[in-house]
Amino acid sequence: MASKYLGRESAPFGEEVWAALDAAMIEAAKSQLAGRRLLPLEGPYGLGLKAVPLPEEEVASGMFVSKTLPLVFLVEEFEMPLRDIAAYERDGLALNLQPVAQAAIALARREDELLFHGAAGVPGLLNAPGVQKMKLSDWSEVGTAMDDLIKAVTALDAEGFHGPYALGLAPARYNLLFRRYPQGPTTEMEHVRTLITGGLVKVPALREGGVLLAVGRQFASIVLGQDMRVGFIGPDEEGLEFTVSESIALYLKVPASVCVLE
């Protein structure tokens, strides 16, 4: 059900247009989103969820403080020509959905930037206090990547996180895994997947390195208030203005379950 706060009921067109906009948004966003392929989702709970309660902390004898995790509201705007929408409704002419697709792609990229790098006062997977870190070696030689990942898994194993594991890699590192071993037809990607069984994902938001996660919502998850939706702003001089928006937070319950590969 569409949120009543998205203004969709005041738009001067019917459900067929909304269905086309929603489908284009979903397809475009899915082509980009990487964090959601590594972490389980909780929600959506609605736009009104502004913060997630965290476990209470005892700050003095008999004195407890309840902290919260804020959800970040992300929004991108786009415009559609009014005459194009009218022609689509009247005559079934093809509707140019590139504006909503571009807005959805931009929002998806901002989501992953938030999940991996954080924002002001909100840490991401790479810089959250308490995460483990390991230096990667040069992967120019086939087999080196697997050696590094075994070391990273061993580090998580030593802290009590015994798998399954998910792995996000920067594109340059991810693409190297497609090389074949000299002594046979197996690629390093196939070899790595025998160790990383919880998901192996290319993450454009990572400029270098990667991140290894112990899989499980008891360790880390993505909390959704409002999931990504198209909303209506109103008319302007040349057409109709819209938004693509969402509210989201990285809930890192056990930072030691994450190993940042630098």
> Would the pTM count as exceeding 0.75?
yes
Phi, psi of 35 (to 5 degrees): -60, -40
Cα–Cα distance, 238 to 32 (Å, whole number) = 30
Residue 153 has pLDDT above 50, yes or no: yes
Q: Is 257 a domain residue?
A: no
Note the pLDDT of residue 116.
98
**Does one domain contain both 153 and 101?**
no
Cα–Cα distance, 200 to 156 (Å, whole number) = 17
**Does one domain contain both 74 and 182?**
no
**Does one domain contain both 207 and 246?**
no
Q: Is 259 a domain residue?
A: no
| Percentage with pLDDT > 90 across the chain | 85
**Does one domain contain both 189 and 245?**
no
Note the pLDDT of residue 66.
83
Q: Is 39 a domain residue?
A: yes
Cα–Cα distance, 193 to 115 (Å, whole number) = 24
What's the pLDDT tens digit per position in 84-96? 999 988 877 789 9
**Does one domain contain both 23 and 108?**
yes
Q: Is 255 a domain residue?
A: no
Q: Is 258 a domain residue?
A: no
Instruction: Say which range, 79-88, 126-135, 203-212, 246-255, has the weakest mean pLDDT.
Output: 79-88
Q: Is 235 a domain residue?
A: yes
Q: Is 90 helix (H, G, I), strand (E, B) or coil?
A: helix
**Does one domain contain both 115 and 137?**
no
What domain range is 194 assigned to? Answer: 132-214
Q: Are strands 68-70 and 51-53 parallel, antiparallel or unpaired?
A: antiparallel
**Does one domain contain both 150 and 56?**
no
**Does one domain contain both 52 and 36?**
yes
Residue 182, domain CATH: 3.30.2320.10
Residue 235, domain CATH: 3.30.2400.30
How many domains does the chain divide into? 2
Please answer whether residues 116 and 217 qualify as being in contact, where contact means their C-beta atoms are separated by less than 8 angstroms.
no
Residue 2 has pLDDT above 70, yes or no: no
Note the pLDDT of residue 152.
98
Q: Is 37 helix (H, G, I), strand (E, B) or coil?
A: helix
Q: Is 260 a domain residue?
A: no
**Does one domain contain both 105 and 38?**
yes
**Does one domain contain both 32 and 77?**
yes
What's the pLDDT tens digit per position in 19-62? 999 999 999 999 999 999 999 999 999 999 999 998 888 778 88
Please choose, from the candidates 211, 208, 213, the residue with its C-alpha nearest in 3D space to the C-alpha of residue 138. 208
Q: Is 204 a domain residue?
A: yes
**Does one domain contain both 32 and 68?**
yes
Phi, psi of 6 (to 5 degrees): -90, -5
**Does one domain contain both 30 and 46?**
yes
